[in-house]
Chain A
Amino acid sequence: MSDLPEYNFAYLDEQTKRMIRRAILKAIAIPGYQTPFASREMPMPYGWGTGGVQVTAAILGVDDVLKVIDQGSDDTTNAVSIRKFFARTAGVRTTTRTPDATIIQTRHRIPEAALGEHQVLVYQVPIPEPLRFLEPRETETRRMHALQDYGVMHVKLYEDIAEHGHIATAYAYPVKVDDRYVMDPSPTPKFDNPKMDQCPALQLFGAGREKRIYAIPPYTRVVSLDFQDHPFERTRIPASCSLCNSRTVFLDEVVTDDQGGRAFMCSDTDFCEQTRSSTGAKS
């Protein structure tokens, strides 16, 4: 039997990290472009954030402070699991406080607190191709991006309006990055889309199964697709957090009983805690 294996800092070997960093640099140089990379098999399943984990592993340094969220929360099982993975394989400091983190790995949310230049936001991406559900073939979609042939996407959005009176996309709402590439923001709610625009933090997107990395450099223009007469609208939730009373944040709806009782609370648990401690609101 083989000896117990020993793993490198942050699990991946240095050659692999170098390969991923090259892909990240290319992705930053071409904002919104999906850069192929030789995604590795990771010790967690595909779909659990293997792309984000590889990006984080490649950029993580000993002085970094890592925060991991899933659905906005630091305490969801998969966020706990990924945070533990890096605490174990890299021994880095971890935090749940958004302003204290230098790297934030996220699934499905962008933190409510504004991010700064010292921070990198790493998104876990299931399907990086915004055109995939309109055109299943990679050979076709790559050509469409090359030619900026985004007609099908506009037709789809137009058909939504014709049918429903709205663009019927609530999450993974497509954006155009730096006036060039149409990009999938990962399945974040469209509520979060405006936070990507001119963001001081570097935003990196990793799709492990699909072997793609893409990026939004700091202070880049990111526009949610819309029409002049049907401008992009942020989802409004007509409620406030039952813990901290915040109104302008994304709220999770929680079923409280089987009589149709509902309560709303902040999806971003750290933001909720900070608000409560500063305003003295009680749960």
Chain B
Amino acid sequence: MYVAVKGGEQAIDNAHLLLARDRRGNPAIPEMSIDQIREQMTLAIARVMAEGSLYEPDLAALAIKQARGDLIEAIFLLRAFRTTLPRFGDCVPMETDGMSIRRRISAVFKDLPGGQILGPTFDYTHRLLDPELAIADDARPCPVVLNEGAEPVAAPHILQILDREGLVEAPLNGADAGVEEDLTRTPLEFPACRELRLQALARGDEGFLLALGYSTQRGYGRTHPFAGEIRIGEVELSFAPPELGFDVPLGAVTITECEMVNQFRGSETQAPKFTRGYGCVFGQSERKAMSMALVDRALRANELGESSGVPAQDEEFVLSHCDNVQATGFVEHLKLPHYVDFQAELALLRQLREDWSARRASKQSADNGAAEQQEEAAE
């Protein structure tokens, strides 16, 4: 006779062995090193660090390797490690003004102090597969970049130029806001302040934010955005131990920052001004930073009195669903056994169907009886 499935333990062990084998692939092909992944898959590393909320390129590379290239799985691995780390304090608010710039563009001014710096971008490549890259060739010379090594120029934030004239609202000031709650150490409650929303968006799923940002451009909560400035580069982080009284540099992180300039608001007491949407993520990821800035601005709809109930303006909707580790867990948990619930539903459904048939049968016999009576009455 059939015996309910036993041997879960053995099955799990075997599944892990199969996973390890498939991860390695054909053993005749050399195994990838963490160094190779870190150096040559930099944008994947950037995404895993950004959404994993941990700036550690080596561990991100390890996570990508272990996850067989599944970036959400890699993000999950990094998060599960991050959560065990002790917190020893908050760093001094990062000054992106002092960034050593690799790329910096503005779509609102043709030229500006510090200049437009194109940097490493796919933007003007033709998307033609490059057969030369198909062959790994250690002898291929490293590309030489013209004019590299020029003196870094000071590049103030472009929105400051507008700010000076009062044309744009003042930026959100981290120092004024004081020490904010850490989203990963306190449960999120609604309504959330903008600082908390930005924390959630910074670790939110790139694809989800991209789609939401896109929806605002297509009319679901339009904000008339301009890419005021996008900058990518290294920013130094420091920590100020209270017992020392001065800042101690911790190192530098690569970040992408996007400041959107959006359509103006005014009121009885305030002259019309441009408004801002802000995006900032680890590593090079303009798509994520720009999407984040669009969604940040859309989520300010209430504050700015323009709420129209579209998804991108709905704080509970966006913040409750932007985390891909949570989302993938809950979607995929449907794979776990649900026999008990299903059995309960099955019993209920059978009972409902029996009742339905009984009701129908009794209604039919009642109808027939009534029809006969009518016929009799007609005769």
Contacts and interface: CB of A to CB of B under 8 A. Distances in A.
Interface of A: 1-2, 5, 7, 13, 36-43, 45-48, 50, 70-73, 75-81, 84, 107-109, 126, 136-139, 164-166, 168, 170-172, 187-191, 209, 211-212, 235-237, 242, 250-254, 256, 263, 265, 267, 269, 283
Contact of A267 (B331, B340, B351): B340
B1 A13 contact: no
Contacts of A191: 344
B370 interface: no
A11 to B, nearest CB: 8
Contacts of A41: 76, 79-80, 82-83, 184, 325
B352 A75 contact: no
Given A2-B59, A237-B347, 20 more contacts: A5-B81, A5-B84, A37-B187, A38-B185, A38-B186, A42-B83, A43-B80, A45-B328, A47-B333, A81-B12, A84-B9, A138-B320, A139-B316, A166-B351, A170-B345, A209-B330, A211-B187, A253-B346, A267-B339, A283-B1
A199 to B, nearest CB: 19
Nearest to A211: B187
B2 A263 contact: yes
Contacts of A38: 184-187
A46 B330 contact: yes
Given A45-B332, A139-B190, A166-B355, A283 B3 contact: yes
B7 interface: yes
Contact residues on B (Cβ < 8 Å of other chain), bracket? 35 or more
B84 A7 contact: yes
B189 interface: yes
Contacts of A13: 84, 86
A252 B336 contact: no
A40 B186 CA distance: 9
Contacts of A73: 4
Nearest to B78: A41
Contacts of B188: 211
Interface string B53-67: 000101100100000
Contacts of B76: 41, 45
A251 B343 contact: yes
Contacts of A171: 340-341, 344-345
B117 interface: no
B8 interface: yes
A260 B9 CA distance: 30
Given A170-B347, A211-B187, A252 B328 contact: no
A209 B333 CA distance: 12
Nearest to A256: B2
B181 to A, nearest CB: 10
B8 A79 contact: yes
Contacts, number: 162
Contacts of B329: 45-48, 50, 209
Contacts of A212: 187
A46 B333 contact: yes
A165 B333 CA distance: 32
B59 A170 contact: no
A133 to B, nearest CB: 15
A67 B195 CA distance: 42
A242 B11 contact: no
A77 B8 contact: yes
Interface in B65-122: 76, 79-84, 86
Nearest to B358: A165
Among all A-B residue pairs, the 3 with the closest Cβ atoms? A47-B333, A46-B329, A170-B344
A94 to B, nearest CB: 12
Interface in B323-379: 325-326, 328-333, 336-341, 343-348, 351-352, 355, 359
B1 A242 contact: yes
Contacts of A166: 348, 351-352, 355
Contacts of A256: 1-2
B351 A108 contact: no
A71 B339 contact: yes
A251 B343 CA distance: 8
A187 B341 contact: yes
A172 B11 CA distance: 30
A235 B1 CA distance: 27
A170 B1 contact: no
B149 interface: no
A236 B351 CA distance: 10
The residue among B2, B11, B86, B332 with the most chain A CB atoms within 10 A of its own CB is B2
A71 B339 CA distance: 7
A209 B347 contact: no
B127 interface: no
B294 to A, nearest CB: 23
A209 B82 CA distance: 17
Nearest to A187: B341
Contact of A75 (B7, B338, B341, B351): B7
Contacts of B218: none
B6 interface: yes
A170 B187 CA distance: 31
Nearest to B334: A47
B191 interface: yes
Contact of B340 (A5, A42, A126, A189): A189
A36 B190 CA distance: 12
A2 B56 CA distance: 10
Contacts of A265: 4
Contacts of A75: 5-9
A188 B340 CA distance: 8
20 contacts: A2-B56, A5-B84, A38-B184, A38-B186, A41-B79, A45-B329, A46-B333, A48-B333, A77-B12, A78-B337, A108-B340, A108-B341, A165-B359, A168-B348, A170-B347, A187-B338, A189-B341, A236-B347, A269-B4, A283-B3
Contacts of B359: 165
